Chain A
């Protein structure tokens, strides 16, 4: 059972819930939990959510992207009215689940993370764990979101590019039209702090320009909407990253 101890709005539609879970012994970054909500009349609804935090006894964080017509996400990440999870509220939680899409903190190999939208969440757990254990594995994130305002954990990611063990990060904006009042085009890149941003989608050019090369033999984690992950996996295998080094997780 989980008790909400704190909530934090990450973007207009994504909210982090800090959960106290007695008896929780930690997780591998990349794993998820099943959240089960029970209404007063016994009606239940359950969904999978990736863990966002680094492993810690008795506590974990999930970040929930509110989806259109979402039943569970409306409660976890919706407006206070007509009803959303507040500190002190409780629900059933099961996990950690999944041992495939998971990073082993003692793995010395380079890590390449490809995030589409809220697919950043399990990858953030990897980034935070990498910092927690002071890993020496080179770590890189390529994060595709609609606009700069849709970047979850923007401030923390910016900080993590500056503090050892540093994450190398690149942002891609798929629906960038206006940013700080200027019309952005592919040639007019946008930075958040020191993190470069490019208008457009993941492409062979972006991969070649920004990603750890296949020769470095990185372990790749790609997470996001199905279309993003399919594109990412195809681009990677075409560019020579071996299929067995690419782990994927998709939603929607």
Chain B
């Protein structure tokens, strides 16, 4: 049990120990949108590479300038070496092309005729390019592929994955299972039934259902769905198996989840959901990264004290000490923000004292080159002493 002394202090997330451990094979960065997930993934990848690992970073939807920093000029779904890295390891990076990944899976697992039939189907085309869960599914699929490739060719000993900007961070874990269960589900089976088995399997209710669907969607949609399902039928089992395989991979001890947040209520709430979910699913959580923490070089000069001092100067010595008053106010504002951030982060720690945590100070500008990523990597490794 946690001792009284340890309760108030956070365990420090030792990023370098994680990156240097050869047993670490997969790092998954997750968290809500806008917290710096992709940057964190890229910075961890770079740092690992410069410390001797052979790394591939799979990004999902990087900001344009970050993509440029990684040399990702085109979306070609293939890992490419990143220029400008130092150290003994190497770094490849790629951007996920979800439609192409889906197409490739179809091409690999269906006969050429069947594959063509599927790829040309309007329902498939809509599904593979716009379904909300396809991105998560294909990120998982790509992770599985990269892992298989790494195992067979020995090309990489560490895979760093960024996760899609979903409605909820949990979608990454849920969507693949959801999609495969839907594709393999009762409704699809029933749609296929006439082609496969005796009509008596169909209940009268289902007739009413298809009639209703035809009324709403138009007959052509259901026909497309049926054609797609018939062509896709032989692939279902494989799809499901692969999703399950990748899910199992995420539970292995070589996998480490890094939950990313900012010291804001919404981001920390999402982080909490994720941490609790990982625990329920027995998935290995390495730690929490809290990005964009307000720097406070004078922690002993509290916000109220500084604000009051500035007020006193303005009141008793008007116009005499403008610089000192202004600078005290700048400090007071930063200290106030930091105070609030600390309180929010402590709330997380109080609920999850076992989760190692590292805080990264906010940078004045965005990261858009390898040097910037290296700086983030250093900040991740040295961190603030959280607690």
Same complex origin of A and B? no
Q: Which residues of A contact B (CB under 8 A)?
A: none
